[in-house]
Structure 1
């Protein structure tokens, strides 16, 4: 390949200080770890994991473990790509070099911008509903949702120093609350199931059918790669980017496992499977009426942590895409003092609030859209694995600060696993047509916009990879 022979055989340098006029390097391992954990553990995950263990009992640990291993595969792929091409554009920067402009734009907009539009609005709506249930009549409808959205938009506009401090505190509080729930349940004086019975008897009633729940369990581990768009603001990224994702996913696995086992000991399994708010049931069962305070603490920290991470990471994806010519140039604008991409932050905040205004409290419709958008998120992971394989072939000699262990097996397993999760994404057969219909509509609309942008604005081919030099130095290309 002519591209590979023209490049130096060292990895792209990652300066420890910001380039003039660019982003500032202020994030360490602790801040990135808080992002990796905070964006993954949301209220939706808290609900879905308890419903899964309600269906499968202790056997749910099998798909949970498989989902954890699948998550490690995407952490390996993102780590290799983020350090080979250390740009804020993240997936768009990797993909344009690997397989072309069209999949680059499709991956980010369908897998992150559109998903965030529905995921964040659903989180805020759920927070509004939970607080309204615990404190009825205290807050006007949607005041909590829009109040939290406005607060964290402002804080992210003020800069990453504030973001990092808040994210670390919220992630620690959230994990402590979930661990406390699990440990308190294990120490309960009146369990509905004895601890010794967890692994005794028919601990896996579904048999091999439990593997179908891997798709459900995968949702508990998506999002740790949100640390990658922060690579230009990270100190020692070659060390901290991979460690934050791997350690973060491991913490999440241990926390969810303990949380689920604790729920099995204190709440009847059938109620976990059928209750729409199983985390509320779990908290009040363990702590009584005071459990509502734990629920509010968990809801606030989970929602705010996910929102805070998303408002930090997704605008930086748009900032990087604008630098590459893949999005509106306005997204390149940085605030003079804080050096934050303020236009992109406001854009993400706006599309987050829009579904709440349009759908009101129709949680069923939002959940349907969430599941459909989640298919696009898994598509983004598949594209990521393909990127690694393509770049290994195109640039075999270039040094990589992080190399996927046992390549290419993590990528092959990851692609197969994500396809499996997409196939079994629907929790009920009657929802399958709606979910795939909405996902198809979203992907079709994003694809049409991407094609028009590439052909009419960028004036480039859809599937011709860009030179690596362009991704590393977009302003000089």
Structure 2
């Protein structure tokens, strides 16, 4: 069974079906909810307001540039996902383009490692916010572990439950954030705005505001999480690329309004220095009522992020196991719901590990998020390289979606991501810790990848697999 509006020559492209029966449960609405739902997280809410606190209205400049960089990775992922429609996502694309070692390193660094860092930070933030609003009401970390356990169980029930939850969570979250931004910009809040003008020194950083592109791009990473769901999507030729494009556009508008609104109600230095700037904004805008807005936004943002990750990352691991790049146990599917249950439990477990060691330390959150950003940006660079390599190796292969103005988006994306990694640290004292954390984990993943490829797979590290062989896998 395949979508009638997609015409490709077998065995390439979407006409080549895996043996696993496709459950086409995900339409445009669900995929758009995925593209938005992972990106607009509590970590984003915090880092974007801190960026606005540092640069004032000037933060809109790096925010716009980050939006452009996000569009470059979106078009690259869209081309690859429809050319090689497999749940393995980046690992499947990269093994065909660059070989097994880059495939394993990029996928584990960009997604599995990020799950350890970013999801843990999300859970820590949720626990901090709940205890800030309702001090002493819940034991430390009870909320964090409760959310993780609940969404792990729900994702074990299959993709249908995920889709229904994700659409509702993403809608509530975006509506709440837009409501906060619009209320602040229009002066509809219950509390008075700041008496000082935010336009008098709109860009206090001058040209150095460009260094905040690395911070701003964190507000747009993750839209490609729709790609591992390609095997369970309806009309993927249309819905995969457009869900990502519309998703990052909605995110740009939402974040811009949110940041401008916060500058109208909270002093810049307070936004820049607070570990919970979204708490300051909500309470400055609506007083005690703002706490309700904040709790709703925090819960939906964290739940949406955790829900999306527990749906997409296990399917990447499932695809890697099918490719022989990960433990074969990740291929195991539940009999009733066809969910990759071993992979779901694995992602849940590695998400909980940093929470155990870091507890409710607010200082750990920024470090976790920025270390995750380094790993994620490296994965995006590999994605762009994949497109270039496959255009050269298979120039005549049918592509349901082709990158406009190729290779400009790929070249711009690679350059922008490299610069963003270089400037990823907003403070010199954090630089060593960020790169040490990311480097240590990436080094460990590299060693494991080399041993796995040489001793288990018994294949060369950098020899690409033929594309027909990858698409024919069951």
The answer to whether the superposition gives a TM-score over 0.5 is: yes
**How far apart, CA to CA, are the structure 1 residues paired with 2:12 and 2:244?**
21
**How far apart, CA to CA, are the structure 2 residues paired with 1:337 and 1:136?**
42
TM-aligned CA deviation for residue 397 of structure 1? 0.4
Cα contact 1:101–1:454 (8 A) shared by 2: yes
Cα contact 1:100–1:463 (8 A) shared by 2: yes
CA deviations on 1:331-380 (whole Å, 9 max, x unpaired) are 00111111111110011011111211222223323532432232111000
Q: Would you say 1:310 and 2:309 are equivalent positions?
A: yes
TM-score by length of 1: 0.94
CA deviations on 1:139-192 (whole Å, 9 max, x unpaired) are 122111111111101111101111101100000000000011011112326321
Q: How does 1:437-456 map to 2 (within 5 A)?
A: 437-456=436-455
Q: How does 1:211-222 map to 2 (within 5 A)?
A: 211-222=210-221
Q: How does 1:347-366 map to 2 (within 5 A)?
A: 347-366=346-365
Cα contact 2:101–2:462 (8 A) shared by 1: yes
Cα contact 1:39–1:306 (8 A) shared by 2: yes
Give the alignment partner of residue 191 of structure 1, picking from 190, 193, 199: 193
Partner of 1:255: 254
Cα contact 1:23–1:339 (8 A) shared by 2: no
Partner of 2:14: 14
**How far apart, CA to CA, are the structure 2 residues paired with 1:306 and 1:322?**
24
Cα contact 1:188–1:266 (8 A) shared by 2: no
Partner of 1:417: 416
**Cα RMSD for the two superposed structures:** 1.6
Report the 3-state secondary structure (helix = DSSP H, G, I; strand = E; otherwise coil) of the residue aligned with 1:158: coil
**How far apart, CA to CA, are the structure 2 residues paired with 1:261 and 1:371?**
23
Q: Would you say 1:130 and 2:115 are equivalent positions?
A: no
Residues 1:10 and 1:204: Cα distance change in structure 2 (over 3 Å): farther
Cα contact 2:275–2:362 (8 A) shared by 1: no
Report the 3-state secondary structure (helix = DSSP H, G, I; strand = E; otherwise coil) of the residue aligned with 1:219: helix
Partner of 1:459: 458
Cα contact 1:64–1:217 (8 A) shared by 2: yes
Partner of 2:203: 204
Runs of 4+ in structure 1 over 3 Å off: 8-13, 18-23
Cα contact 2:11–2:468 (8 A) shared by 1: no
Partner of 1:394: 393
**How far apart, CA to CA, are the structure 1 residues paired with 2:194 and 2:357?**
42
Report the 3-state secondary structure (helix = DSSP H, G, I; strand = E; otherwise coil) of the residue aligned with 1:136: coil
TM-aligned CA deviation for residue 13 of structure 1? 4.6
Partner of 1:3: none
Cα contact 1:11–1:400 (8 A) shared by 2: no
Cα contact 1:107–1:383 (8 A) shared by 2: yes
TM-aligned CA deviation for residue 193 of structure 1? 5.2
Which 10-residue stretch deviates more, 296-305 or 431-440?
431-440
Cα contact 2:80–2:387 (8 A) shared by 1: yes
TM-aligned CA deviation for residue 19 of structure 1? 5.7
Report the 3-state secondary structure (helix = DSSP H, G, I; strand = E; otherwise coil) of the residue aligned with 1:24: coil
TM-aligned CA deviation for residue 129 of structure 1? 1.5
**How far apart, CA to CA, are the structure 2 residues paired with 1:338 and 1:370?**
33
**How far apart, CA to CA, are the structure 1 residues paired with 2:13 and 2:382?**
25
Report the 3-state secondary structure (helix = DSSP H, G, I; strand = E; otherwise coil) of the residue aligned with 1:444: helix
Which runs of 5 or more residues in structure 2 are unaligned? 1-7
Report the 3-state secondary structure (helix = DSSP H, G, I; strand = E; otherwise coil) of the residue aligned with 1:202: coil
Q: How many residues align?
A: 464
Partner of 1:5: none
Q: Would you say 1:268 and 2:295 are equivalent positions?
A: no
CA deviations on 1:372-421 (whole Å, 9 max, x unpaired) are 23211100000000000000000000010000000000000000000000
Which runs of 5 or more residues in structure 1 are unaligned? 1-7
